[in-house]
Structure 1
Amino acid sequence: MKRILRLMLTAAGPYARQFRATLRISLAATVLQAAAYACFVPLLAELSHDPVRTGRVWLWIAALALLIAGEGALRVREMTFTYDHWHLVTRSTRLRLGAALRAMPQQELARRDTGDLTQVVGNNATTAATAVSSLAALFVQLVTVPAVLGVVVLALDWRLGLVLLAGTLAALPLVRQVQRRSGGGFRAVDEADGESAARIVEYVQGLPVLKATGRAGADSPILAPIFAHQHHTQTTANRSAALPVAGAQLLVQLALVGLVALGAALTLDARLTPATLLAVTVAAARFAEPLSLAAVMTKLFELSEAALARIDDVLTVRPLPVASGGHPPRTFDLHFDRVTFTYDGQDRPTLQDLDFTVPERSLTALVGTSGSGKTTITRLLCRYADPQHGTVRIGGTDLTTLAPDDILRHIAVVFQDVHLFDDTIRANIALARPDASDPEIEAAARAAGIHDVVTRLPDGYATRVGELGSALSGGERQRISIARAFLKDAPLVVLDEPTAALDTESEAVVQEAIDRLIADKTVIVIAHRLSTIAGADQILVLDDGRITQSGTHSELLAEPDGRYARMWAAQSAARDWRVPGGGHPSGDVPSAAVGIAAEPLT
């Protein structure tokens, strides 16, 4: 429980002080509750006294009433935290998880499934708040009441107390076994729930493909295996603890029966009064009740611990360290100084001894095959991770001396895959600068070439874009992304082939907007279509994490055996290809045409 208490205090966060106070109140209330039960011993003794001493009887009744009233008052204060702070702890936990995810190194964040994080922020946060607000106080009761009443029974008759103690000690290994089995089992259940949530997200996002292939529904290969695994882990976790729980409860009840049997024998032998036996029996019954309940509740505690541990796993991930001596950059030239970077879990570096400079207000294009390291360069520039060797600098400032948020204030990024939130067009553009006025937002939209499209919509800038921008075309989504960059007006711009997925007409409009965006900026562009970067100030050709060529378009074409010249020739030829034969007269494609080769037009 020390471990669970530490996790509860972590989950309580800013309400840890109130949580500790509530535990102290709960402990005091439980001691009063146990003392009230102890009052039955002298009360019953007085009632069996001949003659009955009425004054003493009423004295013990008054003590019993006062103890119960005191317990009730303390329980009211205890409930204040349970009911008033439950939603506050939930909210605080989710806000802190959000802050932790925002500060988490991108490399660490990328390895976690979206659905799994949804499980942590959603269900686990709720379970943690319940554990903090309710289960902790319940645990205090389950431990304190038997402890106090056990002392009372030992004080009344040590022989009966030893019987009760022996039964308790015999049950403890089984309770511990419940903890072990439930702990591992419910951690597996929680992981399976997280994986299930991740696959559900994947299923919903991939429904068009699954429908097209006839694999949507209960037997979907995305959902069926994970649901089967989830059911198996839940069943295993519940069954594994059933026998130890029943055994622990049986041993506690047998100890109670043994106590009554020994007490009866001692009473018949005149070594114990009937009143004392009755009082001990009452105390022992109340002693056994929470112990039996504890065996069952152990599963709930372990389930809570699994949720608390998953929250703790997110909250304790350290953000990238910020070294001392940093200052905001005043100029915006970029320099990669002998940079080597390897992703976690990989043996080979993605970037090897990379060394290049991007002058301020120039355009540098990165080209190369998939996996050559282009995207990794932009990630290191945005400080999503730090290189294992070498230094990345902006304006002479080492990025390790700046927090990622401070770096990103100077960088606008336009991705190939645009992410829009299910909110209004205005809100999606204003993400770049939440305090922007409506005229500033509209000016950014005009510069991005999307203003006229927006004004033709019934609700204008108040139009909701749908989930992931589904209500808009690809070109419209991309122009909203560019409007964000215009509104941010950062001196550094990173373009991740923003026109690659667009049709010809949309590409032309977006390209014009990009040309306006990058004027007088320091620009790095990841290029797949070489025709779009022919005018770059420098082109860096990457291969297996190294720069194999650098220069302008004309300089690189002057090296006919170089990779860039070969890529240019291949793309130029591809633009002139057609399917030979002009099509099949019947309109059907014969089976022999599958895999047909294209040939250049003459």
Structure 2
Amino acid sequence: MLTAAGPYAPQFRRTLRISLAASLVQAAAYATFVPLLAELTGDPVRTGQAWLWVGLLAVLVVVEAILRARETAFTYDYWHLVTQATRLRLGAKLRAMPQQELARRAAGDLTSVVGSNATAAAGAISSLSTLFIQLVAVPAVLGVVVLALDWRLGLVLVAATLAALPLVRQVQRRANSGFHQVDRADADLAARIVEYVQGLPVLKATGQAGSHSPRLRTVLGHQHHAQLAANRSAALPVAGAQLIVQLALVALVALGSALALGLRLSPATVVAVVVTAARFAEPLGLAAVMTKLFEQSEAALHRIDDLLATEPLPVAPGGQRPTAHDIAFDDVTFAYDGQDEPTLDHVSFTVPERSLTALVGPSGSGKTTITKLISRYADPQHGTVRLGGTDLRTLEPDDLLRHIAVVFQDVYLFDDTIRANLALARPDATDAEIETAARAANAHGFISRLPDGYDTRVGEIGSALSGGERQRISIARAILKDAPVVLLDEPTAALDTESEVVVQQAIDRLVTGKTVVVIAHRLSTVVGADQILVLDAGRITQHGTHTELLADRDGRYARMWRAQLAARVWHLGGSGLESAGRP
């Protein structure tokens, strides 16, 4: 909890000290019943002494109330701040997390940690921590009081505690395991819900939406069974611990009565002990029940700690900011986590500064991996990637990404205004600079026709815009960033012919004077590249210009070119389906 409190750990420690003081005062208040009852049942009754004990009891109650009020101040004043600070720390960790590790974690899982787990952790810090202190401190003091009054009655409480503790520990162990499983099931469900919402059009089209969605049904069933198992596993030990506590009270009353009848203990003392013991037993029985809440919070704290413990990519010493922007792969071998075979196998090439290099080849050949390594998605297991002669492992990820602009085939826009989405590239950009970038990307025209212009919200993932419009916004964002290195993942592949022409014009403006690496699926888009690298099974099998590669008629590039020239596009004609060659 102290770790999760983060910058508010000093205030949390102070709250814990206040809680301990309040619990001790509360125990002392209950202890005053012993001398008070002794005075009230004495012969003669010493009224003055009794009032002194009543006055002390009142003072202790008031002091406890004041301390409890100060104790709850953390809940009211810092709970939301702890939640906010925890989420900011998690956000900073996600920002520094290696992209490969980030890609491994499901979006719903991360949403669960940053959302519900952060809230649960703050709740544990503000409420459960003080309750835990109260459940421990009050019985401890009252147990000492009962032992001081009569060691035989005290031994009953000690025996009950020793008998109940193993059951409480059993509840703890079972709840710990159970709630970790529940938490994982909740995370799986959150991931599937995100997937379900994003893929709803496909699920509807295939009849897998609603109650017919097997993916949702599976994780919902798993969550139900995890919750049921967690609750059932702890039910018997909880009942056993509570039974022991109740039997201890019965034994205490019976023993106290026997001692009183035998004139070895005064009735007033017996009554005082029973009242004190009842207050002793209540937290002990409650602890067995509350253990589940403690373990549930512990599971949330564990997941937060696990995320915060993720190490960022190491930065080797000796790095200098690149002054040139050529790219070099020197004998690079890279395999993704969990894969035995490398995706790139001893790959070497150079991308000269201010040149265009195209990557072509079948799916899975390593094209996207090359662009990922340029942006330091991960470090290769062997070999070196350099920018301007500087090993990427010596550069801070943020420093590296300032030199790189990326345009993906699938554009992600945030549910905000067009202006805000463009300004992500340069938060300090003026409205004039944003408009200039939009004009260069052929986006100003359609933006001006929107109801609110640049202040129009684009919807979730840019759903209010067409594919071509989203792509032009993405290119405008890259133009605004004005990075010297541009990575393109075939940004026109999913566009219609008209949109492709407009977007291609925008790309031409974006890449002017830049070091460009483009993943090409349509070979016709890269015939003018300075060099083309042909990849197959993680190796570069050919490289050269378009003309040079076509000269090798048996080479993979020439075969791919001929296959694309021979591709047919079907459309509806006046007399039915017709085919036409596509250059």
Same fold at TM > 0.5: yes
The corresponding residue for 2:292 is: 299
2:249 matched residue in structure 1: 256
Q: Give 1:301-380 correspondences, 5 Å limit.
A: 301-380=294-373
Cα distance between partner residues in 2 of 1:503 and 1:599 = 16
Residue 515 (str. 1) matches residue 508 (str. 2): yes
Match of 1:65 among 52, 58, 61: 58
Find 2:553's aligned residue among 560, 568, 575: 560
What CA deviation, in whole Å up to 9, does each residue of 1:221-241 have, x standing for no partner?
Answer: 221111111111111111111
In the superposition, the TM-score normalised over structure 2's length comes to 0.97
Match of 2:159 among 166, 173, 176: 166
1:512–1:389 Cα change, 3 Å: same
Question: Aligned ranges for residues 29-428 of structure 1 at < 5 Å?
Answer: 29-428=22-421
User: Does structure 1 retain, via aligned residues, the 8 Å contact 2:565–2:581?
Assistant: no
**Tell me, what secondary structure is at the counterpart of 1:511?**
helix
Residues 226-281 of structure 1 deviation map (CA, whole Å, 9 limit, x = unaligned): 11111111111111111111110000110111111111111111111111111111
Q: Which moved more, 1:215-224 or 1:102-111?
A: 215-224
For 2:54, the aligned partner's letter is I
Q: CA deviation at 1:311?
A: 1.1
Deviation at 1:24, TM superposition (A): 0.7
Question: C-alpha deviations, 1:30-67, integer Å up to 9, x for none?
Answer: 00100111111111112222112223222222222222
Q: Distance in 1 between matches of 2:436 and 2:573?
A: 49
C-alpha distance after superposition, 1:107-163 (max 9, x if no partner): 111111111111111111111110011110000000111111011111111111111
Deviation at 1:599, TM superposition (A): 10
Between the aligned partners of 1:45 and 1:456, the Cα distance in structure 2 is: 89
Between 1:65-74 and 1:246-255, the stretch displaced more is 65-74
How high is the sequence identity, in percent, across the aligned residues? Answer: 75
The answer on 1:442 being equivalent to 2:435 is yes
Q: How far has the Cα of 1:371 moved from its partner?
A: 1.0
- For 2:212 and 2:551, the matched residues in 1 are separated by 57
Name the CA distance, whole Å, in 2 between partners of 1:39 and 1:422: 63
Q: Which secondary structure state, in structure 1, belongs to the residue aligned with residue 350 of structure 2?
A: strand
Deviation at 1:530, TM superposition (A): 0.8
Instruction: Look up the equivalent residue of 2:450 and give its one-letter code.
Output: L
User: Counterpart in 2 of 1:4?
Assistant: none
Partner of 1:571: 564
Q: Pick one of 454, 467, 471 that aligns with 1:474.
A: 467
Partner SS for 1:487: helix
* CA distance in structure 2 between the partners assigned to 1:210 and 1:388 by the alignment: 39
Query: In the superposition, relative to structure 1, how do residues 599 and 485 fare at CA in structure 2: closer, same or farther (>3 Å)?
Result: closer
Aligned partners of 1:422, 1:110: CA distance in 2, in Å? 21
Normalised to the residue count of structure 1, the TM-score between the two structures is 0.94
Q: Secondary structure at the match of 2:210?
A: coil
CA distance in 2, matches of 1:599, 1:74: 85
1:42 partner amino acid: P
**Structure 1 residues 440 and 584 mapped into 2: Cα distance closer, same or farther (>3 Å)?**
closer
Q: Distance in 2 between matches of 1:352 and 1:230?
A: 42
* Deviation larger for 214-223 or 511-520: 214-223
2:452 to 455, 459, 473: 459
For residues 18 and 227 of structure 2, what CA distance do their matches in structure 1 show?
Answer: 36
Taking the aligned partners of 2:433 and 2:574, their CA distance within structure 1 comes to 55
What is the one-letter code of the residue matched to 2:57? L
Aligned counterparts of 1:469 and 1:577: Cα–Cα separation in 2: 29
Residues of 1 paired with 2:467 and 2:56: CA distance? 77
Secondary structure of 1:432's counterpart equals coil
Give the deviation of 1:219 after TM superposition. Answer: 2.5
- The range that moved more, 519-528 or 550-559, is 550-559
Post-superposition Cα deviations, 1:64-96, rounded to whole Å, max 9, x if no partner, equal: 222222111111111110111111111111111
Please state whether the residue corresponding to 1:407 is helix, strand or coil. helix
Given that 1:384 and 1:404 are in contact with CA atoms closer than 8 Å, whether structure 2 keeps it comes out as no
String of CA shifts for 1:354-403, please: whole Å, max 9, x gaps. 11111111111111111111111111111111111111111111111111
How far 1:584 moved relative to its partner? 11
- SS of the aligned residue for 1:540 comes to strand
User: Is contact 1:420-1:468 (8 Å) kept?
Assistant: yes
Aligned to 1:593: none
Distance 1:315 1:379 in 2: 24
User: For residue 3 of structure 1, what is the aligned residue in structure 2?
Assistant: none
Gaps of 5+ in 1: 1-7, 590-595
Quick one: distance in 2 between partners of 1:445 and 1:577? 33
Unaligned runs of 5+ in 2: none
Q: Post-superposition shift, 1:191?
A: 1.0
Give the partner amino acid of 2:73. T
Confirm or deny: 8 A CA contact 1:125 1:307 kept in the other structure. yes
- Listed as ranges, the matches of 1:489-504 within 5 Å are 489-504=482-497
Whichever residue aligns with residue 38 of structure 1, its letter is: A
Q: Within 5 Å, which residues of 2 pair with 1:8-27?
A: 8-27=1-20
Cα distance 1:465–1:578, how it changes in 2: closer, same or farther (>3 A)? closer
* Secondary structure, counterpart of 1:85 in structure 2: helix
* Deviation (angstroms), 1:571: 1.0
Q: Could you tell me how far apart the structure 2 residues matched to 1:513 and 1:126 are? A: 45
Contact 1:175–1:245 under 8 Å retained in 2 = yes
Number of the residue aligned with 1:485 = 478
C-alpha distance in 2, partners of 1:33/1:396? 70
Distance 1:97 1:243 in 2: 38
Contact 2:335 2:342 (C-alpha < 8 Å) held by counterparts: yes
For residues 281-326 of structure 1, what are the alpha-carbon distances to aligned partners after superposition, in whole Å with 9 as ceiling and x for unaligned?
A: 1110000000111111001111111111111111111111111111
